[in-house]
């Protein structure tokens, strides 16, 4: 398996928005849709940018992160931990852990405000034909250099790692 499949790939918006849908060779894949960049599979992504749009609904927060190369749509689910929406997997978990996770998601949503610099990590997904990041973690950056440092990381990683062919077994 490609090592990129297990990590949060640091991407600029123009790279993220150019990801291609890669159908699973045997039809349905239990891990969800697969996306690729230059032939390498990407499941998770990390982006840094300014929050330029924010829409909070009952069960989710949808927002856009602009890094100067484009805007990445992000969604942070808030209702997946409520008792009415719990999957059988979540039903087996400790209720106090679920309460902590729900509080953490709500705290993250409160931090996402217009004009703030945010670091977003999550799964690459699509909704109605558009790419998005389904957020697992969002951090509000206090360092004004975080965005340019992310840019430099993206450029370095693209040339030294992401653009290289996957290792052979």
Domain holding 130: CATH number? 2.40.50.140
Residue 88: what pLDDT?
47
Residue 48: what pLDDT?
97
pTM (2 decimals)? 0.81
What average pLDDT does range 49-75 have in this prediction?
Answer: 95
Question: Lowest-confidence range among 69-73, 125-129, 150-154?
Answer: 125-129
Residue 84 backbone zone (phi > 0: left; psi -120 to 50: alpha; other: beta) = alpha
Q: Which residue has the higher pLDDT, 63 or 22?
A: 63
Q: Give me the chain's average pLDDT, please.
A: 83
**In this model, does residue 56 exceed pLDDT 70?**
yes
User: Is residue 167 included in any domain, yes or no?
Assistant: no
Strands (E), the chain: 8-10, 20-22, 34-37, 40-42, 44-56, 60-66, 71-77, 117-127, 130-140
83-133 tens-digit pLDDT: 554 444 445 556 566 666 677 777 788 889 999 999 999 999 988 888 999
Total domains present in the chain = 1
User: Is residue 29 included in any domain, yes or no?
Assistant: yes
- Which residue, 42, 50, 56, 48, is CA-closest to 2? 42
User: Is residue 15 included in any domain, yes or no?
Assistant: yes
Question: Lowest-confidence range among 10-14, 29-33, 102-106?
Answer: 29-33
User: Is residue 169 included in any domain, yes or no?
Assistant: no
User: Is residue 78 included in any domain, yes or no?
Assistant: yes
User: Is residue 97 included in any domain, yes or no?
Assistant: yes
Find the domain containing 113 and state its range. 3-162
User: Is residue 168 included in any domain, yes or no?
Assistant: no
DSSP annotation of 167: P
Residue 13: what pLDDT?
96
What average pLDDT does range 4-19 have in this prediction?
Answer: 91
């Amino acid at each position: 398996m490609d090592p990129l499949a297990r990590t949060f790939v640091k991407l600029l918006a123009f790279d993220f928005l150019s990801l291609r849908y890669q159908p699973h060779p045997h039809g349905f894949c239990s891990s969800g849709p697969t996306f690729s960049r230059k032939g390498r599979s990407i499941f998770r992504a990390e982006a840094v940018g300014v929050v330029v749009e924010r829409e909070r609904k009952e069960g989710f927060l949808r927002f856009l992160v602009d890094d100067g190369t484009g805007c990445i749509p992000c969604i942070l689910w808030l209702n997946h931990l409520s008792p009415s929406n719990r999957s059988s997997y979540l039903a087996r978990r400790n209720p106090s852990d679920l309460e902590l996770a729900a509080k953490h998601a709500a705290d993250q949503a409160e931090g996402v405000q217009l004009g703030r610099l945010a670091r977003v990590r999550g799964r690459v997904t699509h909704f109605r034909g558009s790419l998005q990041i389904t957020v697992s973690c969002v951090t509000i950056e206090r360092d004004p250099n975080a965005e340019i440092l992310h840019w430099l990381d993206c450029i370095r990683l693209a040339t030294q790692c992401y653009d290289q062919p996957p290792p052979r077994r």
